[in-house]
Amino acid sequence: MNMLMKNNVERWELVKGNTTNDKKYPSAQPLYRSLDENLNDIRTTLGNSSDLVTRPFSIHKTSAAVLYMDGLVDKNTVQNFILESLMLEVSEKRHFTHHLYESIKEANLPIGEMSEVEDKQDLLKKLLSGETILLLDKQTKALSASTKGWRDRGVQETTSESVIRGPKEAFTETIRTNTALLRRKIKDPNLRVEAKTIGRKTCTDIAVVYLEGTAEKEVLDQVKERLNQIDIDAVLESGYIEEFIQDAQYSPFPTVYNSEKPDAIAGGILEGRVAILIDGTPNVLLVPALFVNFMQSSEDYYQRADIGTLVRLLRLFCFSVALFMPSIYIAFTTFHQEMIPPPLLISLASQREGVPFPAFVEALMMELTFEVLREAGVRLPKPVGSAVSIVGALVLGQSAVQAGLVSPAMVIVVAITAISSFVFPAYNMAISIRILRFPLMILAATFGLFGIILGMIAMVFHLCSLQSFGKPYMAPLAPMIGKDQKDVLIRLPHWGLLSRPSFFTKSDQKRVDSKSKER
């Protein structure tokens, strides 16, 4: 345990050495005064790419050019609000109160978002991000207009977190669409969306979203610091960012929550947590993430309180079943037969009469086979994947029993374990249980129940030693926080959730006015 904490500290000390000043980004290069030199330089830098569109024209005897990347911009916006304005309206004007460049910048382009560019690298970054560049001859500055308009799949129903009651919409791969989905949920002026760019090659847009006055400043500072310390050439998915900012690098338990449901992320933000949106992926990160958060679902708050409580307790029961059931079966059948009722013991003995392998080898073969079938079902096309996983499990299980390789009881144990692992709303927590199941099986085959208890104690010690952005991973259970128990194992009705969890926020804890409880 101490070695794990030491490695984690050393990792962060190593990362802190990579400050933003040490990043090897290209040095600043000013633009040329000549329009032709700027155009030739940009074409050469981009390798004369066929998707680079250049439209040269003249305004009052001044050469100009509009540049954009085909497929990344809205062509109607470029045509109607930039080219038409410049080539018709501006050209018809005979007098300008300012210089031509200043007049275009201040009053002649009907574009909402516009910025000034003086550096070549900044120009290329904006050009490759879907913005349109306006260059004028004898000017070392350029204008960048926001005309992003690439195609995306739109807001669709979530595929990985299905719900019966609640919003069906999911995040998309476009970061601006995702921030809009959160704005629709939280119409509060204190909602902050701070933009960052990470990745030397990809220049991926990142958005840090939080509720000012509710999110703790210490947590927010840690999030920003860890993001600023990331120096990587590419960020293609939120998993890249997650591995850099997570606390426990070698722990099987996740310390960063991710979801593609806007209502789940909005609920976390309202509790005082910080969301991290990454362009190009629908999976949004949420920190801090505690153990109890992975046992909860946004649908718990859409059902009645008694139903939500029952489902949560069911998840905790399934957590124990998925983690310990194969190990307990191995321990009982190998070392502790006296703990099995005689009729059941006789039935198990008769089933295992022709099986040539011990219980541990049986369980290991069946668990590995099921993991292979699970992965095959995920990777295969949808029409084929479900059929292969279901039919494959039935055929292989029945064939293994008839061939005398495994006992029917072992098939039942593995099936119940597999079904229990599907109950968790967070997929990464289910993966953690799948990983820990095998060491527990080894301990059970070696030491019996004593090995299972030893593994359980080590796991509890490890869980209690973890932190997520300065917050104890097992809070509010360890340390025990009495006033926060109203929304952990059980869920009180909404009129009973008077305050936000104190382990996420110390300020703005009031959630429900006590007067609203009066009937």
Give the DSSP per-residue string, 340-408: S-HHHHHHHHHHTTT--S-HHHHHHHHHHHHHHHHHHHHHS-HHHHHHHHHHHHHHHHHHHHHTTSS-H
Residue 283 lies in a domain: yes
Residue 511 lies in a domain: no
Written as one letter, the residue type at 184 is R
The whole-model pTM stands at 0.84
* 139 and 180 fall within a common domain: no
Q: What's the pLDDT at 444?
A: 95
424: CB partners within 8 A, 6+ apart: 294, 295, 315, 318, 319, 430, 433
Residue 296 lies in a domain: no
* 209 and 134 fall within a common domain: no
* 191 and 276 fall within a common domain: yes
> Is the predicted pLDDT of residue 4 greater than 50, yes or no?
no
* 424 and 325 fall within a common domain: yes
Are 201 and 215 in contact, with CB atoms under 8 Å apart? no
Residue 142 lies in a domain: yes
Please give the average per-residue pLDDT across 498-516, as a whole number. Answer: 75
User: How many angstroms separate the CA atoms of 232 and 361, rounded?
Assistant: 43
Q: What's the pLDDT at 24?
A: 45
* 265 and 315 fall within a common domain: no
Token pair for residue 466?
């973890």
End-to-end CA distance of the chain: 53
**Which residue, 289, 319, 347, sits at the end of a domain?**
289
Are 191 and 171 in contact, with CB atoms under 8 Å apart? no
DSSP collapsed to 3 states, 139-204 = CCCEEEEECECCCCCCCCECCCCCCCCCCCECCCCCHHHHHHHHHHHCCCCCEEEEEEEECCCCCE
**Nearest to 389, CA basis, from 401, 403, 400, 378:** 378
Residue-number span of the structural domain to which 135 is assigned:
35-146
Residue 159 lies in a domain: no
- Give the strand order in the sheet containing 284-287: 191-198, 204-211, 274-278, 284-287, 257-259
Q: Name the DSSP letter for residue 2.
A: H
CA distances from 325 to 235, 307, 320 (A): 39, 26, 8
Written as one letter, the residue type at 427 is Y
Residue 169 lies in a domain: no
* 359 and 316 fall within a common domain: yes
* 311 and 285 fall within a common domain: no
Q: Name the DSSP letter for residue 470.
A: T
Q: In the block, which residue shows the tokens 């979801």?
A: 259
Is residue 252 helix, strand or coil?
coil
**Which residue, 289, 320, 346, sits at the end of a domain?**
289
Q: What's the pLDDT at 29?
A: 85
Are 208 and 224 in contact, with CB atoms under 8 Å apart? yes
Are 227 and 219 in contact, with CB atoms under 8 Å apart? no
**Nearest to 348, CA basis, from 294, 408, 281, 418:** 408
Residue 389 lies in a domain: no
pLDDT, tens digit, 9 for 90 and up, residues 397-441: 777 777 778 888 888 898 899 889 888 888 889 899 989 999 999
Binned at pLDDT 50, 70 and 90, residue 453 comes out as very high
**Which range among 47-51, 172-176, 320-324 has the greatest average pLDDT?**
320-324
Token pair for residue 384?
């084929």
User: How many angstroms separate the CA atoms of 487 and 76, rounded?
Assistant: 50
Query: What is the chain's mean pLDDT, rounded?
Result: 84
pLDDT, tens digit, 9 for 90 and up, residues 102-113: 777 776 677 778
Q: In the block, which residue shows the tokens 């992965």?
A: 375
* 125 and 197 fall within a common domain: no
Are 434 and 440 in contact, with CB atoms under 8 Å apart? no
463: CB partners within 8 A, 6+ apart: 253, 291, 473, 474, 478
Residue 464 lies in a domain: yes
**Which residue, 289, 322, 355, sits at the end of a domain?**
289
* 460 and 416 fall within a common domain: yes
* 272 and 136 fall within a common domain: no
Q: What's the pLDDT at 230?
A: 93
Question: Is cis: bond before 381, omega within 30 of 0?
Answer: no
Percent of the chain whose pLDDT exceeds 90: 39
* 419 and 328 fall within a common domain: yes
Between 282 and 376, where is the model more confident?
Answer: 282
* 223 and 281 fall within a common domain: yes
CA distances from 381 to 170, 387, 388, 389 (A): 21, 10, 10, 12
Q: List phi, psi (to 5°) of 400.
A: -65, -40
User: How many angstroms separate the CA atoms of 390 and 322, rounded?
Assistant: 19
Other C-beta atoms closer than 10 Å to the C-beta of 70 total: 11
Q: How many domains does the chain have?
A: 3
